[in-house]
Amino acid sequence: MEKCKVLRLMGGIVGATVLSGLVACGGGSSNGGGGTPPPPPPPNVTIAVAPKSYNLVSPQTLQFTATLTGDTQHQGATWKVDGVAGGNSTVGTISASGLYTPPAGGGGAHTIVATSVADTTKSDSAGINVTDLAGVFTYHNNLARDGTNTQEYILNTSNVKSGTFGKLFSCAVDGAVYAQPLWVPNVTINGGLHNVVVVATQHDSVYAFDADASPCATLWHASLLDTAHGATTGETSVSWTDVGNGYKDIYPEIGITGTPVIDPSSHTLYVVSKSEKTTSNFYQRLHALDIATGNEKLSGPVSITASVTGTGDGNVGGTIAFDPRYHLQRPGLALVNGVVYISWASHEDKTPYHGWVIGYDASTLQQLSVFNTTPNDGLGGIWMGGGAPAADSAGNLYLATGNGGFDADSNLSLNDVGDSILKLNPSGLVRADYFTPYNQGALESNDGDLGAGGVLLLPDQTGPVPHLLVEGGKQGLIYVLDRDNMGQYNSIDNSQIVQTVTLSSGVFSTPAFWQNTLYLTAIRDYLRALPFNPTTGQFSATPNSTSAYKFPFPPPTPSISSQGASNGIVWITDSSLYGPPKTAPAAPAVLYAYDATNLGNMLWNSSLNASDTAGNSVKFTVPTIANGKVYIGTATEVDVYGLLP
């Protein structure tokens, strides 16, 4: 017993656990004396991690919580990221309290695991998808206008299907959304951090919606018709009856048509509004809006006025003036090296009109340069199905014109360039190069606009032609040009250019380009995937796959999401039932998702389930894909699709 007493004393010194184990040395143990008793049964622990899944935009952080029951000693949990305790710089780190910080400059899917300290056999996990996409700030995603988001780590060809993917919510707006929705992450608004989708309407409104909140949350709404945004009392959006030739091409009102552009460094949105006070007072203004508030910046807006010397349609005393009434700001805006470029055509070919490009200093809204496509003739509008001018690394602009006068072949000093693809030097918007088809006269006579479709710049190539451009128009031809020598004009044929690809019908859209494949549609034709051979610098005229569905007019512009070179999905919207001037009533747009490696594999479309139905169609709608969601504009709302809860 003396020995036992000593041990008890030691137990009292070293702690309760040891003391508990030595009480039995006096023969009172239930195991027959002298042996170590079995450990007490573990507590009945459960653990649950929240949130179970989340889409996170770097560099945002996310607080995970582990709710434990049966943890009577409050020992808590330990955390791992992709099996690494506490995480690391590659997968992201997680603190002892569950605060996750994503890796710098990297996106992807990760697994978070919390394990009970009291009972290490009990754990729970959550999934987190990190997006490092900087944003969708401009038409068709970038200045090349290739329509790709290769940093989409959430949506893939396995989970975009009925039952797992569908409509999440809608955001009501006050007018039709012709402009592509734009997406900006990590914006502080009213003290909170938000991912924001920016939407412009034909009622001269701009909305900032929380890109993820369901039901929809409006962060701010700016009416560009109020005096705080430069309008005079009594201004309204423009009635379709007051412009054009009465065809109801844009109906029933015209306000903001071209896709705005965002400068992420200054959080500034540049957008052009159109309004009227009476049928003799029309206004077009360039606005610079604060993304966080919708308020005007840079002492804006500025009224858009311009003139050039010329003897063309509508000239007065040898001067042609920009007409805010009849000129249609249809193409998307472009922001290139600190300059905002805006382009125009006309409403329904209402003459007199010309194509215009005007450049404004993005930091002051001061007008810097003016270009007119047909100063000594007429027409030459810039439509491109709503596409924006493309730009190369040197800041050169590329765009296409519609029917109009052409005389540039007869004298290099002449500047009428209808039905042409142009390269404009940013220094003064001087024409640096061009291509005009040999049959330009026939195109002009037969309303065969070359500029019906948008321009796409291919990535720099290692093959025979390093700098390529692609564009198509009403004639159903895809022109492939050398941007360093665009071919100018050959009266015999088009043999001077890199390639001509013949389609079944006309193009009114901007193609997409991903993994050496061109994706495009024509009128009443399939969505096609045309392979590009980098060695020869040529496209195959035979698609490697097509959709089973033929898209009616207007042939839509596709966009692509992928995880780098894998999980490519082509997103495209059938907007053919857009109502007037068609006799058929307006009907919902239909969003389609196709496997980019095999267009015969339609993954999903919004007509399969009634709950996925979109708002009524708008011509030339372009989907925006960001952070696991797809946004499309319609006549009354913006519809948001993603993985179902």
Q: What is the bridge-based pairing of β-strands 430-436 and 488-489?
A: parallel
Share of the chain above pLDDT 90, in %: 90
Q: Is 46 helix (H, G, I), strand (E, B) or coil?
A: strand
- Within 10 angstroms of residue 6's Cβ, the number of other Cβ atoms is 12
What is the residue-averaged pLDDT of the chain? 93
Tens digit of pLDDT for each residue in 411-464?
Answer: 666 789 999 999 999 999 999 999 999 999 999 999 999 999 999 999 999 999
Report, as an integer, the average pLDDT of 15-43.
47
Task: Dump pLDDT digits (tens) for 611-639.
Answer: 999 999 999 999 999 999 999 999 999 99
Q: How confident is the model at residue 409 (pLDDT cuts 50, 70, 90)?
A: confident
Question: pLDDT tens for residues 268-292?
Answer: 999 999 999 987 899 999 999 999 9
Residues 522 and 476: beta-carbon distance below 8 Å: yes
Q: Identify the CA nearest to 63 among candidates 112, 100, 90, 31.
A: 100
Measured CA distances, 593 to 136, 158, 325, 578, 600 (Å): 19, 12, 39, 20, 11
Across 284-299, b (16+ Cβ under 10 Å) vs e yields bbbbbbbbbebebbbe
For residues 558 and 630, give the distance between their C-alpha atoms in angstroms, rounded to a whole number. Answer: 13
C-alpha angle 26/30/36, rounded to 5°? Answer: 75
Distance CA 633, CA 521 (A): 20
Nearest to 599 by CA among 539, 549, 524, 533: 549
Helix locations, 72-165, DSSP H: none
- The answer to whether the peptide bond before residue 51 is cis (omega within 30 degrees of 0) is yes
Report the percentage of the chain scoring pLDDT > 70: 93
CA 295, chain centre distance (Å): 23
Domain ranges of the chain: 1-40, 46-131, 139-643
Structure tokens at 516: 């050496």
- On whether the 139-643 domain is CATH 2.140.10.10, my answer is yes
Q: Give residue 486's pLDDT.
A: 98
- 111/94 Cα distance (integer angstroms): 11
**Residue 184 near residue 137 (C-beta atoms within 8 A):** yes
pLDDT one-digit tens code per residue, 196-211: 999 999 999 999 999 9
Residue 590 pLDDT level (bands cut at 50, 70, 90): very high
Give the CA dihedral 306, 289, 558, 55, nearest 10 degrees: 170
Backbone angles phi, psi at 25, to 5 degrees: -70, -15
Q: Is 411 exposed, middle or buried (0-12, 13-18, 19+ CB in 10 A)?
A: exposed
Q: Which parts of 178-260 fold into alpha helices (H)?
A: none
Q: Phi and psi of 446, rounded to 5°? A: -115, 25
pLDDT in tens, 509-558: 999 999 999 999 999 999 999 999 999 999 999 999 999 999 999 999 99
Residue 41 has pLDDT above 60, yes or no: no
- Pick the closest to residue 194 from 166, 167, 216, 177 (CA basis): 216
When pLDDT is cut at 50, 70 and 90, the band that residue 93 belongs to is very high
Look at 350 and 10; give whichever has higher pLDDT: 350
From first CA to last CA, the distance across the chain in angstroms is: 67
Which helix (H) or strand (E) segment holds residue 358: the answer is strand 356-361
pLDDT of residue 412: 60
Q: What is the pLDDT of residues 226-258, one digit of tens each?
A: 999 999 999 999 999 999 999 999 999 999 999
Architecture label for domain 46-131: Sandwich (2.60)
Single pTM value for the model: 0.91
Q: Compute and round to an integer the Cα radius of gyration of the chain.
A: 31
Cβ atoms 300, 222 nearer than 8 A: no
How far apart are alpha carbons 564 and 422 in whole angstroms? 31
Tens digits of per-residue pLDDT, 365-396?
Answer: 999 999 999 999 999 999 999 999 999 999 99
Q: Which residues contact 327 (CB under 8 A, 6 or more apart)?
A: 284, 344, 345, 346, 353, 356
Question: How crowded is residue 350: how many other Cβ atoms within 10 Å of its Cβ?
Answer: 18
Exposed / middle / buried, residue 223 (Cβ in 10 Å: 0-12, 13-18, 19+): middle
What is the Cα 112 distance to its own chain's centre? 29
**CA-based torsion, 531, 533, 539, 540: positive or negative:** negative
Dump pLDDT digits (tens) for 300-357.
999 999 999 999 999 999 999 999 999 999 999 999 999 999 999 999 999 999 999 9
Segment (H or E) for 115: strand 108-116
Rounded to an integer, the average pLDDT of 106-113 is: 92
* One-letter amino acid of 144: A
Predicted pLDDT of residue 106: 81
* 45-71 residue pLDDT tens: 999 999 998 999 988 999 999 999 999
**Any idea which residue has 């209402």 for tokens?**
350
pLDDT at 36: 73
245's CB contacts (< 8 A; 6+ apart) are 347, 348, 349, 350
The more confidently predicted of residues 410 and 114 is: 114
Kindly indicate the confidence band of residue 105, based on its pLDDT and cuts at 50, 70 and 90. confident
Q: What is the 3-state secondary structure (H, E, C) of 295-334?
A: CECCCCCEECCCEEECCCCCCECCEEECCCCCEECCCCCE
Residue 487's pLDDT is: 97
Q: Which two tokens stand for residue 195?
A: 């991912």
Cα 260–Cα 266–Cα 271 angle in degrees, nearest 5: 20
| Beta-bridge partners for 27 | none
Residue 39, pLDDT score: 62
* Residue-level pLDDT at 20: 33
